[in-house]
Structure 1
Amino acid sequence: MGLFDLSGKTAVVTGAGRGLGEAIGLGLAQAGADIALVTNRTPADKAAEAIRALGRKAITIQVDVADRSKLPGIVERTVDELGRIDILVNNAGIIRRTPAADHSYADWQDVLDVNLNSVFALCQLAGNRMIEQGSGKIINIASMLSFQGGINVPGYTSSKHAVAGLTKALASEWAAKGLQVNAIAPGYMSTDNTEALREDPVRSAQILGRIPAGRWGTSEDLIGPAVFLASAASDYMNGHILAVDGGWLVR
């Protein structure tokens, strides 16, 4: 199973203090990678300890990815302390739930700054390093709302459609340079972002009724797909949006 071996690789994972990002960081470490865990408010110390217990290196970087001026430091510190950057997982994201007619510009801008602008900036910063070394894997976290409209989340939906488009645009330019840029579109996952939906009995029942697998997804459900897209097993995948959704899109 050497195709999935990440030994000697270094990954940057944003939004790594909890939920999907924490699970992805640990999963990449289990496959052999050293990890830079990027987090804003939630400390990633627990995740870093778990990674070090596997015999891998881990550093934590506390940065608000909405602050464009701080993003070069993520790549620089990763290279300085871990030696290189082979994998970038753009997982950090926020959501603001308000009807479109009442959606404030401040909420709109906050969501786009985290969900889209930081993704492009980090792809560019890490991508330039990867182009120099002739290889690299970028995994952006898209959404079911990269395909659909959603309800009361116009900023989030717009940002996730854009992440899918950006993934394809970068793959189109960078595939010939040895990089693979793909995205994972999680289905309805049991995370903080979906807490309001899960606590709404009507909406929760509607969602579960459409998922053929009959359950909400978990953070651990993304580990296998993330390792696949970070490894040599996906070397001929470029610009793909991989739905991990329990069958949501087929029903």
Structure 2
Amino acid sequence: MRLKDKVTVVTGGTRGLGRAIAERFVDEGATVVCAARNPYDIQQLINQLPDRVLFHETDVTDPDSVDGLMDAAVAAYGRIDVLVANAGVNRDGKVDRLTPEDWRSMMDTNLNGAFYSLQSAARRMIPQGGGRIITVSSSMASRVAIGAAGYSATKAAIETLTKVSAIELGRKGIQVNCLAPGVLEDGMGRELSQNKKVWEAYHHRFSLGRAGKLDEAALGAVFLASEDSSYVNGHVLEVNGGLLWA
């Protein structure tokens, strides 16, 4: 119960890694507000723990919508102890083909959305004496791949935003760190592992011989949100099993 009674907001919290983080945080004693444009399958978790899980429809590309999310969390539970800025999208495309619309989509959701969420949460954490903010990057921030110009650019920017925010907000009681997962058994990771031909080409790049599990990445977020990381600030925590990438 490392997060007992901690009020947490998770953007992109209704599926994939965000939902895994929400589930793990609940297991660790937290109360969680899951924010996203769509509820997807989060209702099952709400039905199990209606007093500790809340869904709030949010568009992270709209700062007013993000402020509404933070206000709703405070109205429901009195404070915000932890923010996990997880919402993100990926649009494939080489630099000479990537459309302006897809570029803007990634910038608006991945980078602007993280900034709006971080800023809005911080403004509510400062008066209460502090809190924890966790941004979510990716191994793609430092290990680039063909067709990932927009996604890699946003994730690299998030890591720098995290480090600047950490030194600005640390004296105000807010620790800001970044979770950078590698390839997980969801989405791209699932496609890799289930495609025999593709897996033969890529499996040697996984030093543990497999993609990661969503819960393994979620445990990294628990560490950054808990007192186990009380002297960690401005850090990018890579949870990738020792990913080798060219």
| TM-score interval for Structure 1 and Structure 2 normalised by the shorter chain | over 0.9
- AA paired with 1:34? T
Aligned residue number for residue 25 of structure 1:
22
- Preserved contact between residue 26 and residue 50 of structure 1 (Cα < 8 Å): no
| Pairing 1:177–2:177 present | no
Which of 221, 231, 234 does residue 236 from structure 1 map onto? 231
| 1:102 alignment partner, SS class | coil
Deviation by residue 1:124-178 (Cα, 9 ceiling, x = unmatched): 0001111111120011111001212222011100000001000001001111111
- AA paired with 1:68? P
- Preserved contact between residue 48 and residue 59 of structure 1 (Cα < 8 Å): yes
Deviation by residue 1:102-122 (Cα, 9 ceiling, x = unmatched): 001110000111100010011
Identity of aligned residues (%): 35
Q: Which moved more, 1:31-40 or 1:156-165?
A: 31-40
| Pairing 1:206–2:222 present | no
**How far apart, in 2, do the equivalents of 1:128 and 1:50 lie?**
31
Looking at secondary structure, tell me which structure has more helix per residue. Answer: 1
Aligned residue number for residue 182 of structure 2:
187
The within-5 A match list for 1:1-251 is 5-43=2-40, 44-52=42-50, 57-194=52-189, 197-198=192-193, 201-248=196-243
Quote the offset at 1:69 in angstroms.
Answer: 2.8
| 2:96 alignment partner, SS class | helix
- Preserved contact between residue 37 and residue 59 of structure 2 (Cα < 8 Å): yes
| 1:149 alignment partner, SS class | coil
| 2:207 alignment partner, SS class | coil
- Preserved contact between residue 178 and residue 237 of structure 2 (Cα < 8 Å): yes
**How far apart, in 1, do the equivalents of 2:45 and 2:202 lie?**
30
TM-score, normalization by structure 2: 0.93
| 2:35 alignment partner, SS class | strand
* Structure 1 spans left out of the alignment, 5+ residues: none
**How far apart, in 2, do the equivalents of 1:222 and 1:34 lie?**
19
How many residues in Structure 1 have an aligned counterpart in Structure 2? 245
- Preserved contact between residue 17 and residue 47 of structure 1 (Cα < 8 Å): no
**How far apart, in 1, do the equivalents of 2:214 and 2:107 lie?**
23
* Structure 2 spans left out of the alignment, 5+ residues: none
RMSD: 1.9
